[in-house]
């Protein structure tokens, strides 16, 4: 068993035996150390300052949605004929790469999703894919959501219609049947341009509107998570964020997203997001995948987060 540092032990005891309401008021150094509070609040303050400079590059509705909710949804993102040709090229490229890559082929039946990197110089026979990763449709709102004017990393993502690991099987414990993702200590943003419709049976994506805001309550919650990570043994798995954590933060319910083909989603990864379990039990559900063009942009992480 790894020995706990005195400051971790004290905070762990306070968290376990004192009322939780004591930590949901204004911050003080007795509940969250100043170094942790300052690093996290400064990181997100810098992000907001950068967003203010990028605000004028976006339509007002886009900037408002990302600022207020942390997510922006654009339906019919591309002209119909351009989208049709882009989809054809993407599927042709994906099938060719999959059949030539033994690793992808071996994981085909088990993966919940996997990605193929997209590089401009490798897409000489895919002019519409080339255009999609050099166009200005995705970068400006993605840069705003991430708070960084950088170059996105593009991938082709294949999402399984039915993922075995995401079924409702908890083995008698409180482990959630699906993963809730978030990253406050290395803020960034993700964009997905869906080439196919994602039905609720396939496993709907979700995002909790407003959960990207770095409130005092969220900072305290992040610190408790930091303590939990320090307490576990090296052999143990990291704690999983569950529905009880969302209730603790007084967040609204999960928002399943209605995703049609040619829909563009861009979200702030500080917010809580993920994918609900699939209920697709069709015979080919484990081998059929939905494709999307993915772009990611990350910012500088907290110095102590690694």
The predicted-structure confidence for 214-255, as pLDDT tens digits, reads as follows: 999 999 999 999 888 888 877 777 778 988 899 889 998 888
Task: Check whether 19 has a pLDDT greater than 80.
Answer: no
Residue, of 297 and 161, whose pLDDT is higher: 297
Q: Which residue has the tokens 């033994």?
A: 102
Task: Check whether 25 has a pLDDT greater than 70.
Answer: no
Task: Check whether 173 has a pLDDT greater than 50.
Answer: no
CA proximity to 166, closest of 151, 157, 176, 158? 176
289 φ, ψ (degrees, to nearest 5)? -125, 150
Task: Check whether 154 has a pLDDT greater than 60.
Answer: yes
* Residue 26: pLDDT band with limits 50, 70, 90: low
Looking at every residue in the chain, the average pLDDT score rounds to 80
Token pair for residue 201?
């049976």
H helix and E strand count, the chain: 10, 10
Token pair for residue 248?
């603790």
Between CA 23 and CA 30 the distance in angstroms is 10
Task: Check whether 207 has a pLDDT greater than 80.
Answer: yes
- The pLDDT score that the predictor gives to residue 261 is 96
CA proximity to 73, closest of 246, 213, 214, 209? 209
* Residue 178: pLDDT band with limits 50, 70, 90: confident
CA proximity to 107, closest of 172, 163, 61? 163
pLDDT, mean of residues 76-100: 91
> Biggest alpha carbon distance in the chain?
63
Between CA 95 and CA 305 the distance in angstroms is 38
Q: Which residue has the tokens 């803020």?
A: 187
Element (H, E) at 111: none
Bridge partners of residue 266, in order along the sequence = 72, 191
CA proximity to 72, closest of 83, 84, 86, 61? 61
* Residue 289: pLDDT band with limits 50, 70, 90: confident
């Amino acid at each position: 068993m790894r020995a706990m540092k005195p400051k971790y032990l004290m905070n762990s005891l306070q968290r376990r035996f004192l009322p939780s309401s004591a930590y949901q008021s204004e911050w003080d150094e007795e509940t969250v150390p100043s170094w942790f509070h300052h690093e996290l609040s400064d990181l997100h303050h810098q992000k907001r300052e950068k967003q203010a400079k990028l605000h004028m590059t976006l339509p007002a509705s886009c900037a408002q949605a990302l600022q207020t909710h942390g997510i922006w949804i654009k339906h019919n993102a591309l002209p119909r004929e351009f989208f049709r040709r882009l989809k054809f090229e993407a599927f042709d490229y994906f099938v060719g790469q999959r059949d030539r890559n033994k690793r992808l082929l071996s994981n085909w039946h088990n993966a919940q999703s996997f990605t193929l990197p997209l590089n401009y110089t490798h897409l000489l026979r895919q002019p519409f894919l080339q255009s999609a990763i050099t166009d200005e449709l995705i970068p400006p709102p993605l840069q705003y959501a991430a708070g960084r004017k950088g170059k996105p990393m593009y991938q082709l993502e294949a999402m399984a219609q039915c993922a075995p690991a995401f079924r409702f099987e908890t083995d008698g414990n409180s482990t959630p049947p699906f993963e809730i993702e978030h990253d406050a200590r290395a803020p960034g943003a993700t964009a997905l341009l869906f080439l196919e419709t994602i039905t609720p049976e396939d496993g709907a994506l979700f995002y909790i509107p407003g959960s990207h805001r770095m409130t005092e309550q969220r900072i305290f919650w992040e610190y408790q998570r930091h303590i939990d990570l320090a307490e576990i043994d090296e052999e143990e798995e990291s704690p999983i964020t569950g529905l009880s954590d969302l209730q603790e933060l007084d967040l609204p319910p999960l928002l399943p997203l209605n995703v049609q083909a040619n829909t563009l989603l861009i979200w702030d990864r500080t917010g809580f997001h993920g994918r609900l379990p699939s209920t697709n039990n069709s015979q080919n559900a484990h081998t059929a995948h939905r494709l999307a063009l993915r772009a990611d942009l990350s910012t500088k992480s907290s110095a102590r987060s690694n």
